[in-house]
């Protein structure tokens, strides 16, 4: 029976309905609906936690109704509920967890709290030709930049992490310091498309020494200096955006190659909001062809936060008999490596 997936960890309310199809999970996706709070937070230049929680309260049940009606289902048809239990904003998480837990209790079906980054990591499974473990995953989102060795669903080893800013955060902050409105990441990437190659060049942080960790905050400072010392024209802004994007993509590519070499993996999964970046997708796919590894991406819509990835991760765990007790628990900080295996 279909699983209801609920995502409310940050500033997106996401809902999806998914029937568990082990061979082709994407074919089990019956409906999905998303509401983004971007406009609500734009005036503040970032997500305001209390406003986010309140807006999830307003939008979540209407979205659940919308998804059910898209799929032609009623709540009584549900076989389980999956909600994001962390990491994320505590108030925002509590809205999804309390709603999901309450619905499951009222319907007499199991509920499961899902790790948001496991959701991102498994999102490519919703596409045709889904990746099979073992693989390496590059998780690049607003709050995380990680390389993860995946032996099976739930068996994760973090190979590399960011020491400061996440890749998405670096995009957003860099956009902001060149005067682009919040959230600047996608706008900066669009601008990079009009930039001239070679007009500026920034460093590839931490690639000159061994290891798989990232550090992107120094790049931001380089951009700030270049921008302040420039004529600040439209073309210059695009040129800097281009050089910045190249530096990030190049750095991620170098570390991905290194991780694949170290683990001997032949498959690379890319997920999280920055996974929507066109240059990153093209460069990694091209490297895969050249080096002989296969790349797997979610569709653009499922790179950023969504309910479908939570429904999927939850459905896998529910299918393995895992579920939560009646208490409503969330984990604003939560180590991916502590999850139980589901295989």
* Shortest Cβ 141–Fe ion spacing (Å): 4
Distant-in-sequence, close-in-space partners of 257: CB < 8 Å, separation ≥ 6: 287, 291
Residue 121: contacted member of Fe ion, ligand ATP, Mg ion, none (CB under 5 to 8 Å, by partner type): none
- According to DSSP, residue 15 is labeled E
Q: Which residue in this structure is represented by tokens 């309310």?
A: 13
Cis-peptide, bond into residue 87, ω within 30° of zero = yes
Is 142 annotated in some ligand binding site? Answer: yes
- Interacting residue with ligand ATP among 13, 149, 251, 304 (CB under 6 A): 304
Nearer to Fe ion among residue 10 and residue 136 (C-beta): 10
- Does 277 bind ligand ATP (CB under 6 A)? Our answer is yes
Nearer to Mg ion among residue 246 and residue 305 (C-beta): 305
**Three-class SS of residue 19?**
coil
Nearer to Mg ion among residue 146 and residue 260 (C-beta): 146
**Three-class SS of residue 335?**
coil
In angstroms, the CA 161 to CA 259 distance is 12
Query: What's the 3-state SS for 116-148?
Result: HHHHHHHHHHHCCCCCCCCEEEEEECCCCEEEE
Distances (CA, A) of 192 to 42, 52, 200, 250: 22, 30, 12, 14
Question: Quick one: which segment of 57-65, 74-82, 166-174, 282-290 binds ligand ATP (CB under 6 A)?
Answer: 166-174
- Does 91 bind ligand ATP (CB under 6 A)? Our answer is no
The answer to whether the CB of 165 falls within 8 A of the CB of 173 is yes
Residue 171: contacted member of Fe ion, Mg ion, ligand ATP, none (CB under 5 to 8 Å, by partner type): ligand ATP
The answer to whether the CB of 249 falls within 8 A of the CB of 282 is no
Is 141 annotated in some ligand binding site? Answer: yes
- Does 11 bind Mg ion (CB under 5 A)? Our answer is yes
Is 185 annotated in some ligand binding site? Answer: yes
- x/- binding map, residues 173-212, to ligand ATP, per CB under 6 A? ----------x-xx--x-----------------------
* Shortest Cβ 266–ligand ATP spacing (Å): 26
Q: Which residue in this structure is represented by tokens 């919308």?
A: 66
Question: Quick one: which segment of 78-86, 167-175, 253-261, 300-308 binds Mg ion (CB under 5 A)?
Answer: 300-308
**Three-class SS of residue 75?**
helix
- x/- binding map, residues 290-319, to Fe ion, per CB under 5 A? ---------------x--------------
Nearer to ligand ATP among residue 116 and residue 242 (C-beta): 116
Is 53 annotated in some ligand binding site? Answer: no
In angstroms, the CA 43 to CA 295 distance is 38
φ/ψ bin of 110: left (φ > 0), alpha (ψ from -120 to 50), beta (otherwise): beta
The answer to whether the CB of 269 falls within 8 A of the CB of 124 is yes
Distances (CA, A) of 127 to 23, 27, 68, 82: 11, 9, 22, 20
* Shortest Cβ 168–ligand ATP spacing (Å): 3
Distant-in-sequence, close-in-space partners of 339: CB < 8 Å, separation ≥ 6: 115, 118, 154, 156
Is 116 annotated in some ligand binding site? Answer: yes
- Does 14 bind ligand ATP (CB under 6 A)? Our answer is no
Question: Quick one: which segment of 98-106, 137-145, 147-155, 287-295 binds ligand ATP (CB under 6 A)?
Answer: 137-145
Residues that bind Mg ion (CB under 5 A): 10-12, 305
Give binding residues for substrate as ranges. Answer: 139-143, 172, 185, 277
Give binding residues as ranges. Answer: 116, 120, 139-143, 172, 185, 277, 305
Residues that bind ligand ATP (CB under 6 A): 9-10, 88, 116, 120, 141-144, 168-169, 171-172, 183, 185-186, 189, 272-274, 276-277, 304-305
Give binding residues for Fe cation as ranges. Answer: 116, 120, 305
Residues that bind Fe ion (CB under 5 A): 141, 305
């Amino acid at each position: 029976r279909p699983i209801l997936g609920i995502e409310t960890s940050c500033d997106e309310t996401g809902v999806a309905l998914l029937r568990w199809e082990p061979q082709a999970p994407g074919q089990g996706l019956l409906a999905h609906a998303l509401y983004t709070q971007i406009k609500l937070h734009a005036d503040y230049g970032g997500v305001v936690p209390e406003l986010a929680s309140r807006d999830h309260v307003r939008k979540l049940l209407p979205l659940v109704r919308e998804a059910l009606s898209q799929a032609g289902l009623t709540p009584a048809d549900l076989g389980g509920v999956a909600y994001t239990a962390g990491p994320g904003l505590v108030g925002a998480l509590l809205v999804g967890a309390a709603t999901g837990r309450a619905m499951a209790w009222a319907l007499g079906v199991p509920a499961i709290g899902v790790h948001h980054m496991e959701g991102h990591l498994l999102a490519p499974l919703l596409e045709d030709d889904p990746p099979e473990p073992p693989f390496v995953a590059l998780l690049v989102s607003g709050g995380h930049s990680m390389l993860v060795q995946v032996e099976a669903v739930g068996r994760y080893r973090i190979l590399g992490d960011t020491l400061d800013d996440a890749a998405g955060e670096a995009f957003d902050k860099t956009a902001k310091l060149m005067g682009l409105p919040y959230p600047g990441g996608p706008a900066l990437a669009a601008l990079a498309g009009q930039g001239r190659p070679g007009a500026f060049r920034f460093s590839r942080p931490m690639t000159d020494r061994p290891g798989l960790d990232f550090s992107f905050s120094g790049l931001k400072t380089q951009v700030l200096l270049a921008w302040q010392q420039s004529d600040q024209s439209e073309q210059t802004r695009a040129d800097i955006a281009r050089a910045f994007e190249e530096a990030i993509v190049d750095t991620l590519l170098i570390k991905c190659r290194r991780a694949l070499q170290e683990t001997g993996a032949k498959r690379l999964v890319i997920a999280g909001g920055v996974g929507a970046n066109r240059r990153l997708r093209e460069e990694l796919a091209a490297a895969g062809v050249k080096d002989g590894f296969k790349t797997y991406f979610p569709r653009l819509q499922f790179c950023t936060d969504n309910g479908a990835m939570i429904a999927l991760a939850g459905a896998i765990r529910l299918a393995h008999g895992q579920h939560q007790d009646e208490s409503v628990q969330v984990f604003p900080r939560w180590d991916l490596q502590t999850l139980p295996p589901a295989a």
